[in-house]
Amino acid sequence: MLHLHEGLFSSYQIMSHPDFEFYHYFDPVAPHVEPHRHNFYEILFFLSGSISYQIESQCYHLQPGDILLINPNDTHHFTSNKIAPYERYVMWVQPSFLMQVDFFGANLSTCFKDALHNQIHLLRPHCTELAHLKSICEKLLNNRSNEQFGSSTLSYAYFLEFLVHLNRVYLSVNNTVITQEFTSHKKTNEIIGYINTHLTEDLTLDHIADAFFLSKSYMSYIFKQNTGLSIYQFIMKKRLMLARDMLYDGASALDACMGCGFYDYSNFLKAFKREFGCSPKQFTRNR
């Protein structure tokens, strides 16, 4: 269940455990990471480095102790602002697991759902709260190789404790202060919402520009400025990540191609291999 991993980012971004996974990463030099997404929650607990983190159209300039809440299907990636070690805790959580532990009136997915609704993904805990959250992470790490009676149960207990305090921090933050810590562009957010809604349809620059009464050149400019990707690149990555999730859930390569909006199977095969380094069939065999 628990993983301690200190190495390079994996483009697969697939959970192997049905509940949650906990990682500690330390990279002497921050790796290059392409925009990606997945179908589970992610918590990024930033410890050190010089990192800007992009979630959809929002860019956060992180400080040590910052926590990011990433919802399923949010496209995200980070860039390094200078050569410096990059250290963080990363937690992956299945939505179904949070539904299972929704008892005694404590909905532990509250922070994620509010973050999605308010489009504010950053938490900056105060010193006392930060120390407490770090201490829980250290207990999780120290327990990872413990073979004593009940060690697995303790890992679940520690993780639930972390989620409880994470929600408390989220519900106590001053959003006015937090919103000053990231840049966002309203029109870009609207375009992303449109793309997400119509992802599997015939999406062209003309269709999107007409929907927002914008010229194609201006729309393309503001989108690239605020996401780091062209609209075409963004749509392609979204479709390929949807296809990857479909393959993981058991769909055939042809069904994934048609279901994610490609329609041309040969182009789909080339794009998938370019993005993930293997063919859909190889991915299915290795999943």
The total of structural domains in the chain comes to 2
- The number of CA neighbours under 13 Å toward the Cβ of 173 is 26
Number of other CB atoms surrounding residue 40 within 10 Å: 21
Together in a domain, 141 and 208? no
The answer to whether residue 4 scores a pLDDT higher than 60 is no
Average pLDDT, the chain: 87
Distance of CA 49 to the CA centre of its chain: 19
Looking up residue 95, the CATH number of its domain turns out to be 2.60.120.280
Together in a domain, 78 and 206? no
Q: Six-digit token pair at 239?
A: 């479709």
Name the percent of the chain lying above pLDDT 90.
53
Whether 5 is covered by a domain: the verdict is no
Taking CA atoms, 116 is separated from 178, 180, 201, in Å, by 15, 17, 24
Hey, what amino acid is at 113?
A: K
Domain extent for 121: 20-182
Whether 8 is covered by a domain: the verdict is no
Whether 13 is covered by a domain: the verdict is no
Question: What was the pLDDT predicted at 83?
Answer: 85
Whether 9 is covered by a domain: the verdict is no
Looking up residue 189, the CATH number of its domain turns out to be 1.10.10.60
Together in a domain, 71 and 106? yes
Whether 192 is covered by a domain: the verdict is yes
Whether 102 is covered by a domain: the verdict is yes
Together in a domain, 88 and 123? yes
Together in a domain, 203 and 120? no
The whole-angstrom separation of Cα 226 and Cα 114 is: 23
Predicted TM-score (pTM) of the model is 0.77
pLDDT-based confidence at residue 137 (cuts at 50, 70, 90): very high
What is the chain's length?
287
Q: Six-digit token pair at 276?
A: 């993930």
Q: Six-digit token pair at 273?
A: 């291999």
Q: Which residue has the tokens 């065999």?
A: 285
